[in-house]
Chains A and B, each alone.
Chain A
């Protein structure tokens, strides 16, 4: 009786629904990474000078300015073919966690916050950016979870 009740309450998704949800999550992450990568690559000097003002990055700004968009493009490529999709989702989760931790450190460390790097996302405040990133961390997590289950 108890088991039956529990089974009725369990949220069930069909394989097709799971596949569609993972696809949508992958496309959203792909749009984000490709959009921001292009924005950084086509404005690399400005992005590098902004990073140079960060106390955590400072002297490595040029290296990081190239490494971030290149990593985003590589993760984007990993998300495309089905066999590598799982690794793309893990990598995007890791990168978004890293970005969020960096933003949290910058906001709570009391350092002067440099201006943003470009694109539509640059219109957000640092706090809005943290919430935006957390949304994508959650999306990546859901993507990994459903991908594992399916």
Chain B
């Protein structure tokens, strides 16, 4: 394989890797991690008490710290403390993280 063919193949590989990553990142952008900040209703499937915080707020010890929620067409939260939208959200199966919010 000459150098031009190798370069073309490399560009194709690079483009596919970049495109695939961009596609999966954008696709998963409606999945947001919410923290169970209020444990009044400690069931993981209960949407009440979940709030958005940027970054990692989980500490060890405890049964429920955070979970991923598919928020569909709801706006992506940007401010810390934003509660989980009242409608149009679904808990992502297997996304519950043990520990406790701090």
Question: Which A residues are within 8 Å of any B CB, using their own CB?
Answer: 23, 26-27, 30-32, 34-39, 41-43, 45-46, 49-50, 52-53, 76, 79-82, 113-115, 118-120
Question: Which B residues are within 8 Å of any A CB, using their own CB?
Answer: 1, 3, 6-7, 9-11, 13-15, 17-22, 24-26, 29, 54-56, 78
Q: Is the CB of A42 within 8 A of B25?
A: yes
B26 surroundings in chain A (CB, below 8 A): 42
A-B contact pairs, 30 of them (CB 8 A): A27-B10, A27-B13, A30-B14, A30-B17, A34-B15, A34-B17, A35-B21, A36-B21, A37-B18, A37-B21, A38-B17, A38-B25, A39-B25, A41-B22, A42-B25, A42-B26, A42-B29, A43-B25, A43-B29, A45-B54, A50-B55, A53-B56, A76-B14, A80-B7, A80-B10, A81-B7, A82-B3, A114-B56, A119-B24, A119-B25
Name the prevailing secondary structure of the B interface residues: helix
Q: Which residue of A lies closest to B28 (CB)?
A: A118
B14 surroundings in chain A (CB, below 8 A): 30-31, 34, 76, 80
- B92 CB to nearest A CB, Å: 13
A30 surroundings in chain B (CB, below 8 A): 10, 13-14, 17
**Cα distance A43–B9 when bound, in Å?**
27
Q: Is the CB of B21 within 8 A of A82?
A: no
Name the prevailing secondary structure of the A interface residues: helix
A35 surroundings in chain B (CB, below 8 A): 17-18, 20-21
Q: Is the CB of B54 within 8 A of A46?
A: yes
Q: Is the CB of A53 within 8 A of B21?
A: no
**Cα distance A41–B54 when bound, in Å?**
17
Q: Which residue of A lies closest to B78 (CB)?
A: A45
A80 surroundings in chain B (CB, below 8 A): 7, 10-11, 14
- B56 CB to nearest A CB, Å: 4
Q: Is the CB of B55 within 8 A of A114?
A: yes
Q: Which residue of A lies closest to B8 (CB)?
A: A80
**4 further interface pairs, Cβ-Cβ under 8 Å (given A43-B29, A114-B56):** A30-B13, A34-B14, A36-B21, A118-B25
**Cα distance A45–B25 when bound, in Å?**
13
A52 surroundings in chain B (CB, below 8 A): 55
Q: Is the CB of A82 within 8 A of B7?
A: yes
Q: Is the CB of A42 within 8 A of B13?
A: no
A115 surroundings in chain B (CB, below 8 A): 55-56
